[in-house]
Amino acid sequence: MSENLKQGVEDHDGIVTIRAGGELKREWNNIHYKQGMSANVGAEKLSMNVATIPVGGVAYAHIHVDFEVMLYILQGKVRHEFGDHCKESLDNEAGDFIFIKPGVPHEVFNIGDEEVVAVVARSDAGEWVNIVNYDRETGKTVE
């Protein structure tokens, strides 16, 4: 893990704080993240971040391997195209909770006219380590 992820982490003997979501900004698959909490605070089974997707942005097709994800949409509108070859579609907006089961292929689109902002919780402190790319055309994972 990068030492940068530990910047701004305050450990108070059992309660750990990152004030204002931390200064560090990270990116993965066209999604922008605040620093958030994961293994950087000693977590072994959880991670939590605030994610943003710019207007017109797409988080390309991928699969979460062996971990669950829950999202709460704070702002904007998002479309998940999911399932085999990502042929199914579901739209969500601010105020919606979303649960993504492990192993479900999905691609995420900002379909609104404002940035999408969401709280993202994962049952994996490794965050992006256990995510694989998915080819919508072939229906197979990509290394």
Tell me: the pLDDT tens digits for 2-46? Answer: 557 777 889 898 899 988 766 667 777 777 877 788 888 999 999
Do 14 and 20 meet the contact criterion of CB atoms below 8 Å apart? no
* H-run or E-run covering 2: none
pLDDT at 126: 84
3-state class (DSSP) for residue 115: coil
Q: Where do the structural domains in the chain lie, given as residue ranges?
A: 3-142
pTM of the model: 0.87
Summarised one tens digit per residue, pLDDT across range 123-133 is: 999 877 889 99
Residue 55 CB neighbours (<10 A): 12
Q: What percent of the chain has pLDDT over 90?
A: 69
pLDDT at 24: 60
Measure the CA–CA gap between 113 and 106, rounded to whole angstroms.
22
Q: What integer is the mean pLDDT of 62-68?
A: 95
Residue 20 CB neighbours (<10 A): 8
**CATH superfamily assigned to domain 3-142:** Jelly Rolls (2.60.120.10)
Query: Nearest-5° angle of CA 15, CA 19, CA 21?
Result: 110
